[in-house]
C-alpha cells in the first residue's frame, strides 16, 4: 500500500481535527433560537438550495470533503449527529459542539506532549461526575407553559407549540400523535376516537363516500398472509351473509387476484359491504401490529407459519368493531369489541417492553402501539403557504413531538446550555492524577461551549456573559431573545433531561474516538490497486 494512503501521528490528528472542525462549524452556526441557517445545494441545480437549521439534517447532507483524510474527521462529526438523531431525535448540534471543543483542546494538549490515553481516562472520569451533576438538576415537566415553550422552541412556531401541549394534555405522554400536512394555510389539531394506522385501502373501488371507504359494524379478518385465492374467503362470506350481511374487513399483508376481485365485486353489486386493507408495520413488526388489532377487536390472528386454512374459519374467529374507515393512506377502527381485560393485558405487555427498548424507532413504535390500544389518537395538521414550508414545519413538528414526549416521561433541565454550566463546579472539584489532570479543564471548556455558541450566534460577546452566569449559580442562563440573565426554568427555557444527558455522553464519546486516532488509512473506491500486479 503506498505511503500516500496512510497518515500517522500528528499529521493524522491534524487531518481529523480539520475535517471535524469544518462540519462542526457548519452545525454550530445554527444552534440556539437566533442561530443562522445553512444553505445546501440540491442535486437539481435549477431549484433553490435547501435552507436548514437542524444539525442532523445539515450533517446528513454532508457527502465528503475534497481531502479524503479530512473527510474521515468530518464523518466522525456526522456520526455523532446521526447517533443523536437516531437515539433521541434532538441534540445533534449540541453533541457535536461539545465534541469539537474536547477534540480541539485535547489535540492541543497532545501536541504539547500529553498522552492521549491519559487524557481519555481523565475525561471519562469527569464525564461520570458531570452526568451525576446533570441528573441532579432534572425536574418533572408539569407546567403547560414549559411544554408549550419547549415545543415552540423546536418548531419555531408558537401556535404549534400550544397545539402540541394541548394534544399531550389530552392523550397523555404515551399517547399516539400523527403529524400530517393540511390543505389549509393554518395549523389545526383534532382527535380520533379509535385506532389510526398509516396504511390505507388496497383498491379505490372500495370507496362509498368521497375519498373514503366506510363499513359499519363489520366483521374483521386478520392475517399476515398474502391472499390471492377466492376459495379462502367464500366460506366466511357465506357465513356472514347468513348472519345478516354485516360486512367484512380484511386486514392482510396483501390481497390480490381472485381474492381481491371477489371482495370488490361483492361490494359493487351490493352483496356484502367489504374492504381490504394492507396490514401496517414492517417485517416481523407486521405480525405484532396485527396481534394488537386482533386483541382490540376480539378476533384471531391467522399466521402463515401456523398453516391454518381460512376456509375453515368461523365467525367466532373474526373480530368486530362499530366502524372501520379507510382512505388511500390510512385506516381507522372505531369501537373494537375485544375483551377489556385482554386489551389491558396486551397494552401492559407492551408498556413493560418500552423501558428496555432502544431509543429511536423501536421505542417510538412500542409507545405508539401501546397508546393505540388504550386510547385515542391526536392528529396535528400542519398548514403553510407552500409545500416547502409545510414539509419543513412537518419535520420540525415530528421532532418536537418526540422531544416533548421524552421530557414528559423523564423530566427537564434548564435550557440554553445552562444545565451544562451548572456541572462545571463539580468537574473542577474532581481530583485526578497529574497525567490526567488537564482533562478537567478540557471538559469544563466543553461544558461551556453550547451556551457560548448560542450567545455568539445571537451576535453578542460571550465571555462577559458567561462570567456573569458563573456568579449567578445553578439554573441561571442567558435568554438571547430578551437579552437578559434569567432563571431558565421560570422563563420556560428548558431541555429534556434525556436529550441533555445523551448529547453530553455522545459528544464526549465521539471526541475520544478522534482524540485517540493515530493512523488514517485511505482506501480508493475502485477494485484494483494500480500499484499491485494481481496477475504476477
Dihedral in degrees, nearest 10, Cα atoms 234, 240, 243, 245: -110
Fill in the DSSP letter of residue 193.
S
* Integer angstrom CA distances of residue 329 from 143, 180, 383, 530: 36, 11, 19, 52
Q: Which phi and psi (to 5°) does residue 529 adopt? A: -95, 115
Beta strands in 41-126 (DSSP E): 50-52
Q: How far is CA 109 from the centre of its chain?
A: 36
Q: Which phi and psi (to 5°) does residue 518 adopt? A: -115, -20
What per-residue confidence (pLDDT) applies to 531? 44
What per-residue confidence (pLDDT) applies to 528? 44
What per-residue confidence (pLDDT) applies to 95? 96
Collapse the DSSP code of 475 into the 3-class scheme (helix H, G, I; strand E, B; otherwise coil) and give the result: coil
Nearest-angstrom CA–CA distance, 402 and 380 = 13
Three cell numbers written together for 461:
460577546
Q: Is the dihedral of CA 412, 417, 418, 421 positive or negative?
A: positive
Fill in the DSSP letter of residue 378.
E
Q: Which phi and psi (to 5°) does residue 9 adopt? A: 55, -125
Cα atoms in the 13 Å half-sphere on the side-chain side of 215: 29
Q: Is the dihedral of CA 389, 392, 398, 404 positive or negative?
A: negative
CB 129 within 8 A of CB 427: yes
CB 104 within 8 A of CB 83: no
CB 43 within 8 A of CB 18: no
Nearest-angstrom CA–CA distance, 74 and 239 = 64
State the DSSP string of 146-168: HHHHHHHHHHS-HHHHHHHHHHH
Nearest-angstrom CA–CA distance, 217 and 337 = 10
What per-residue confidence (pLDDT) applies to 385? 83
Domains of the chain: 3-39+49-139+423-447+502-521 (1.10.560.10), 144-180+384-410 (3.30.260.10), 196-338 (3.50.7.10)
Q: What is the pLDDT along the chain (536 residues), one digit of tens a residue?
A: 444 688 898 899 999 999 999 999 999 999 988 888 888 888 788 788 888 888 888 888 887 788 999 999 999 999 999 889 888 878 899 999 999 999 999 999 999 999 999 999 999 999 999 999 999 999 998 889 989 988 998 888 899 999 999 999 888 887 778 888 888 889 999 887 778 888 889 999 999 888 889 999 999 999 999 999 999 899 999 999 988 878 999 999 999 999 999 999 988 887 789 999 999 988 888 999 999 999 999 999 999 888 888 888 899 999 999 999 998 888 989 888 999 889 889 988 988 888 788 767 788 788 888 878 876 678 899 998 888 788 888 888 988 898 898 888 889 999 999 999 999 999 999 999 999 999 999 999 999 999 999 999 999 999 999 999 988 888 899 999 899 999 999 888 999 999 999 999 999 999 999 999 999 998 876 544 444 333 33
Fill in the DSSP letter of residue 493.
-
CB 429 within 8 A of CB 414: no
Nearest-angstrom CA–CA distance, 445 and 414 = 19
State the DSSP string of 394-456: HHHHHHHHHHHHHHHHH-EEETTTHHHHTTHHHHHT----TTTTHHHHHHHHHHHHHHHHHHH
Burial letters for 393-408: b for 16+ Cβ neighbours within 10 Å, e otherwise?
A: bbebbbbbbbbbbbbb
Collapse the DSSP code of 105 into the 3-class scheme (helix H, G, I; strand E, B; otherwise coil) and give the result: helix
State the DSSP string of 48-66: PPEEE--HHHHHHT----S
Amino acid at each position: 500500500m503506498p505511503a500516500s494512503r496512510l497518515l500517522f501521528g500528528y499529521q493524522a490528528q491534524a487531518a481529523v481535527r480539520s475535517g471535524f472542525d469544518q462540519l462542526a462549524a457548519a452545525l454550530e452556526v445554527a444552534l440556539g433560537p437566533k442561530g443562522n441557517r445553512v444553505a445546501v445545494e440540491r442535486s437539481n441545480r435549477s431549484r433553490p438550495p435547501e435552507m436548514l437549521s437542524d444539525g442532523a439534517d445539515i450533517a446528513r447532507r454532508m457527502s465528503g470533503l475534497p481531502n479524503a483524510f479530512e473527510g474521515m474527521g468530518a464523518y466522525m462529526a456526522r456520526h455523532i449527529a446521526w447517533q443523536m438523531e437516531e437515539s433521541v431525535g434532538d441534540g445533534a448540534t449540541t453533541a457535536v459542539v461539545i465534541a469539537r471543543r474536547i477534540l480541539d483542546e485535547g489535540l492541543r494538549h497532545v501536541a504539547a506532549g500529553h498522552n492521549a490515553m491519559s487524557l481519555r481516562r481523565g475525561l471519562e472520569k469527569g464525564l461520570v461526575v458531570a452526568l451525576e451533576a446533570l441528573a441532579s438538576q432534572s425536574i418533572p415537566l408539569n407546567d403547560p407553559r414549559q411544554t408549550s415553550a419547549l415545543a415552540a422552541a423546536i418548531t419555531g412556531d408558537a401556535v404549534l407549540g400550544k397545539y402540541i401541549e394541548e394534544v399531550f394534555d389530552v392523550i397523555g405522554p404515551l399517547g399516539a400523535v400523527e403529524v400530517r400536512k393540511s390543505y389549509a394555510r393554518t395549523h389545526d389539531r383534532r382527535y380520533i376516537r379509535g385506532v389510526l394506522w398509516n396504511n390505507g385501502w388496497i383498491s379505490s373501488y372500495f370507496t362509498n363516500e368521497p375519498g373514503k371507504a366506510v363499513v359499519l359494524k363489520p366483521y374483521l379478518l386478520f392475517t399476515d398472509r398474502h391472499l390471492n385465492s377466492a376459495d379462502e374467503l367464500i366460506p366466511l362470506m357465506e357465513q356472514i351473509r347468513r348472519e345478516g350481511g354485516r360486512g367484512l374487513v380484511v386486514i392482510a399483508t396483501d390481497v390480490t387476484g381472485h381474492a381481491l376481485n371477489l371482495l370488490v365485486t361483492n361490494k359493487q353489486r351490493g352483496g356484502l359491504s367489504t374492504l381490504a386493507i394492507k396490514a401496517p408495520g414492517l417485517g416481523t413488526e407486521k405480525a405484532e401490529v396485527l396481534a394488537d388489532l386482533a386483541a382490540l377487536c376480539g378476533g384471531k390472528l391467522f399466521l402463515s407459519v401456523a398453516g391454518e386454512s381460512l376456509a375453515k374459519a368461523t365467525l367466532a374467529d373474526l373480530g368486530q368493531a362499530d366502524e372501520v374507515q379507510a382512505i388511500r393512506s390510512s385506516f381507522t377502527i372505531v369501537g373494537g369489541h375485544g375483551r377489556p381485560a385482554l386489551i389491558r393485558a396486551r397494552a401492559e405487555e407492551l408498556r413493560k417492553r418500552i423501558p428496555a427498548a432502544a431509543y429511536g424507532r423501536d421505542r417510538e413504535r412500542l409507545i405508539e402501539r401501546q397508546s393505540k390500544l388504550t386510547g385515542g389518537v391526536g392528529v396535528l395538521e400542519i398548514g403553510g403557504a407552500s409545500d416547502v414550508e409545510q414539509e419543513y414545519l412537518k419535520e420540525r413538528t415530528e421532532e418536537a413531538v418526540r422531544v416533548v414526549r421524552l421530557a414528559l416521561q423523564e423530566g427537564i433541565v434548564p435550557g440554553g446550555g445552562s444545565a451544562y454550566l451548572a456541572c462545571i463546579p463539580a468537574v473542577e472539584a474532581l481530583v485526578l492524577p497529574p497525567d490526567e489532570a488537564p482533562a478537567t479543564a478540557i471538559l469544563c471548556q466543553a461544558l461551556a461551549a453550547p451556551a457560548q455558541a448560542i450567545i455568539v450566534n445571537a451576535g453578542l460577546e460571550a465571555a462577559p456573559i458567561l462570567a456573569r452566569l458563573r456568579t449567578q449559580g445553578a439554573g441561571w442562563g442567558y435568554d438571547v431573545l430578551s437579552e437578559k440573565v434569567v432563571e431558565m426554568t421560570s422563563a420556560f427555557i428548558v431541555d429534556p433531561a434525556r436529550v441533555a444527558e445523551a448529547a453530553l455522553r455522545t459528544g464526549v464519546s465521539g471526541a475520544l474516538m478522534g482524540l485517540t486516532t493515530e493512523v488514517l488509512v485511505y482506501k480508493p473506491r475502485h477494485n484494483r490497486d494500480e500499484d499491485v500486479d494481481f496477475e504476477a
